[in-house]
Structure 1
Amino acid sequence: MELRGFDVGQAAVVAGWATSAQEVSLLSGRTQFPFPAELVGSWAKPADDVRCYLYYVSGEPVGYGELWLDDEEDEVELARIIVRPGSRGRGIGAAFVKALLGSALEAGYADVFLRVRPDNDVAIRTYRRVGFEYVAADLADEWNKEQPVAYTWMQYPTAAG
């Protein structure tokens, strides 16, 4: 198992992992299905504050995710996490999130967060298994004020956090 930087040439592969409009919505908040590869490709534009990754098992890409780095807030957010359909339900998602978390912690930020749609029970269970905890309700309410959805916000317990 290996975490590698995302190559935009893999955008169509990743876009194909969203198998329904519901999955597109969970991943991106959009409902266009099939998921447009050019949208996934646009996420990978070079930026100092976003790191895009593919997770490989036996040489095959099985997961995509991002780290959003925020120097001002001294935090990193795990984002846009998706696992290839044929790899789901086998613990790969948890291993992938742990790999992303390792990169997030290595980046040296005080806090590590993620947000997930509240109806994405499978993802929430995965994040809880990895060690993420729910943020306080008042903090989640504050962060959700400007969001299109009332996300479930989670934080990984760090020494600084």
Structure 2
Amino acid sequence: MPYFELRPFDLAEAETVAHWVTTPDEFWKLTGAQGFPLTADQVAAWIYETNFAFTLRRDGDIVAYGDIIEDDVEGDVEIQHVIVAPDMRRAGVASVLMSKLCAFLTEYHKYPDVWTRVGRDNEAAIQCALGAGFQPDQTLSGERYLWMKKSLYAE
């Protein structure tokens, strides 16, 4: 059984994470922008836009990245920029990462719910979020994005 560990993101890992985005389509799905390829500087800049950035390690090797942004105005929290190493995709790693990020929020930050936003055309991200316990919220979703929410505490 592999051992997964959530660790705070280290800027030295930015180059590795940037190289995981291998196509313009992946870049678009991750960032919602044009401008492939993803650079280490762009990944490093994410930590200044977010509150928490993490890597997921499998048996010590970095296999995924994700970050969390707290919205003080709306009073909510969102998981974003979830990316998995290409050789680890479709193996449940992103769902493990999202579950660990939710566990972090449950332990250290008492938000009732957590949100994530995925492109409606990004079936892998939708399935990942569903696998981590998120449910679609059509009231906030639009043509381009599907907002998904997960309750962090039992009701």
TM-score by length of 2: 0.89
**Preserved contact between residue 19 and residue 34 of structure 1 (Cα < 8 Å):** yes
Say yes or no: does 1:87 pair with 2:81.
Answer: no
Counterpart residue type for residue 23 of structure 1: E
Q: Look up the match of 2:132.
A: 130
Say yes or no: does 1:3 pair with 2:6.
Answer: yes
C-alpha spacing 1:158/1:59, structure 2 compared with 1 (3 Å): closer
Q: Look up the match of 1:157.
A: 151
Q: CA deviation at 1:126?
A: 1.3
Say yes or no: does 1:112 pair with 2:114.
Answer: yes
Structure 2: give runs of 5+ residues left out of the alignment. Answer: none
Q: Look up the match of 2:123.
A: 121
Q: SS of the counterpart of 2:120? A: coil
Residues of 2 paired with 1:31 and 1:3: CA distance? Answer: 30
Q: Look up the match of 2:35.
A: 32
After TM superposition, the runs of 4+ consecutive aligned structure 1 residues lying more than 3 A away are 158-161
Residues of 2 paired with 1:139 and 1:25: CA distance? Answer: 21
Say yes or no: does 1:22 pair with 2:16.
Answer: no
Q: CA deviation at 1:35?
A: 1.2
Q: SS of the counterpart of 2:140? A: helix
Residues of 2 paired with 1:160 and 1:70: CA distance? Answer: 23
Counterpart residue type for residue 122 of structure 1: A
Counterpart residue type for residue 146 of structure 2: T
Q: CA deviation at 1:74?
A: 2.6
Q: For residues 87-137 of structure 1, what are the alpha-carbon distances to aligned partners after superposition, in whole Å with 9 as ceiling and x for unaligned?
A: 1111212111111111122211122111001111011011112110011x3
**Preserved contact between residue 112 and residue 151 of structure 2 (Cα < 8 Å):** no
Counterpart residue type for residue 111 of structure 2: Y
Structure 1: give runs of 5+ residues left out of the alignment. Answer: 142-148
TM-score by length of 1: 0.86
Mapping for residues 29-68 of structure 1, pairs under 5 Å: 29-45=32-48, 50-68=51-69
Residues of 2 paired with 1:19 and 1:128: CA distance? Answer: 24
Counterpart residue type for residue 112 of structure 1: V
Residues of 2 paired with 1:101 and 1:70: CA distance? Answer: 16
**Preserved contact between residue 22 and residue 31 of structure 1 (Cα < 8 Å):** no
Residues of 2 paired with 1:72 and 1:34: CA distance? Answer: 32
Q: SS of the counterpart of 1:112? A: strand
Q: Look up the match of 1:97.
A: 98
